[in-house]
Structure 1
C-alpha cells in the first residue's frame, strides 16, 4: 500500500516537494537510489525484476514521475506491461507528452501517476480518469486507488508535510519521521491504517524525499528498510534541476 504526497508550487521558495513510501514484497530484487549508468540521466532506484522504477527524477530534462498501484483484487494480469516502465519512459522522454499515451494506458494493471515536466504537472490514472488532470498549486496525495478516493492516512501525511513547510524549509529528517509512522499491514485503509507498513513479507521497502528550490537546486534522498522494519541505509543525491 504505497503512499505519496507532492507539494506542487505551494511555496515560493520550494515549488516541488515529495514525500513517499514504496511498499513491496521484501524478496523482490531492487537496486537502491543511484544515477543510472545507461545514458538516460535518470536518478532513481530500480526494480530489477521488470527494469522500471516507482519514483525518479531527471535533472537534465526537469522531469519527475512517481507511481502508485491500484489495489484491484482479482483483476491483476500477469501479461500486462510493466507500470514501472511508464515512469522510466517519462523520465527519459520516450513518453514525450502526457497525452501521447493516454489511449493506451488501459492495457496496464491499475495505477495512478504524478508527472512533472518543468513548470507543468499532471495526475493520471488508468481506471477513473478520462483525461490527464493538470495540477494547480497545492498538495496532492495518492495511495492505492484513485486520487478522488478518501484515504485517511493520505490526509494525515498531507497535513504533516504541510505543517513542516509552514514552519521551515524542507527538512528531510522531519519528512522521514512522517513517513515512518508505522503499524502492521492491513487489508483496507481505515482511520488507523499506518503510513509505514511493518511486515516481514510485504512492507515498506523505502522512503523517498525530494525537495527542489526556486533556483532549481535541491536533493533526492532515499532511506531503505529490511523485512524487520529497520533502516539498512540512506542515500542522498544533490540535484541541479534544468527544466
Structure 2
C-alpha cells in the first residue's frame, strides 16, 4: 500500500471513510479481495508470494492497513514480509494498543513501514522508523511512504480532494474512486527527496502510479456509516484488466461499543 487517505470521525453520517491504493510490481502474484479460507472472518486481498495482505477488514470490525516507508537502505535488506503485520492483527483478538506493543517488543526483521490498526471508533498509526504509535485524532489524514500527514504533494492533493468530496454531503463512491485515480504529476520543485533519485521520485509522485513494470494494482474504498453498515469495495488489476470485489458487513455492535 502506498497511499492511504482517511476521514476519521470527520463526517456526521460516516465515522470512517478510507481510501487506499496499493502500488506493486504488476507480476507479483496476488489474489483479489475475498474472505480467506484459513481466516473466514477476514476480507481482503492477498499476497500469494508470502501470504499476507496490505489492507483488510473483519466481520468483527477490525481494520488494518500498511504502507512501506521509502528508504533506499531497505532495498538491500533481507526481512520478513510486512504483509503479515496486517493479517496478524486481523486474525488476532488483541486490541490495537496491545498488538502494537507486541510488535515493538518483538522488533522483527522488517523493512520500514507504517501500520494503521484498530476499529472505526479507535484507530492507531505506528511507524517502525520512529518506533512511535499515535491514536488518530478526528479529522482527515493522509499517509504515503513517509510518516502520517507528511505533506507530500500526493498526500496534500488527496486529503484536499477527500475533504471536498465529503463536504458535498453524502459520499459518492465514484467520486472517491476518482480521487484514487488521480494521475497528476507535481512539479519537480515540490517532490520529496528520499534518496531514490529524481526520475524515480517523479514516477512515484502521483496518487495513481503507472509505468512499464510497476504501478497501482488496486484501489479500495471503505465506507462505515453510523447505522453500522460497512461497505468495502476493491477494484484490482488482474492480467491487464480491472475487476471489482465488494462486501457489506454489519458493524453496529462495534459502533455501539458492545
Return the TM-score normalized by structure 2.
Answer: 0.84
- Closer/same/farther in 2, CA of residues 56 and 220 from structure 1, 3 Å limit: same
- Closer/same/farther in 2, CA of residues 167 and 115 from structure 1, 3 Å limit: same
- Closer/same/farther in 2, CA of residues 189 and 90 from structure 1, 3 Å limit: farther
**RMSD in angstroms over aligned alpha carbons?**
2.3
**Partner residue of 1:224?**
236
Counterparts in 2 of 1:16-31, with a 5 A limit?
16-31=16-31
**Partner residue of 1:81?**
80
- Report how far residue 40 of structure 1 moved: 4.2
2:102 to 82, 100, 103: 100
> Which 5+ residue runs of structure 1 have no aligned equivalent?
none
Q: Which moved more, 1:3-12 or 1:45-54?
A: 3-12
Task: Give deviations 1:193-238, integer Å, cap 9, x for gaps.
Answer: 311111120000010000000121021001113576xx52111211
**Partner residue of 1:176?**
177
**Partner residue of 2:65?**
66
Contact 2:16 2:120 in 1 (8 A): no
Higher helix share: 2
Secondary structure, aligned partner of 1:82: coil
**Partner residue of 1:187?**
200
Q: Which moved more, 1:68-77 or 1:163-172?
A: 68-77
Contact 2:142 2:149 in 1 (8 A): no
CA distance in 2, matches of 1:89, 1:40: 14
Q: Which moved more, 1:115-124 or 1:13-22?
A: 115-124
Task: Give deviations 1:126-145, integer Å, cap 9, x for gaps.
Answer: 0024x310111011111111
2:243 to 194, 212, 233: 233
**Partner residue of 1:204?**
216
CA distance in 2, matches of 1:79, 1:41: 31
- Closer/same/farther in 2, CA of residues 186 and 197 from structure 1, 3 Å limit: farther
CA distance in 1, matches of 2:122, 2:103: 17
- Closer/same/farther in 2, CA of residues 76 and 193 from structure 1, 3 Å limit: closer
Secondary structure, aligned partner of 1:147: coil
Count of residue correspondences: 238
- Report how far residue 240 of structure 1 moved: 1.3
CA distance in 1, matches of 2:56, 2:234: 11
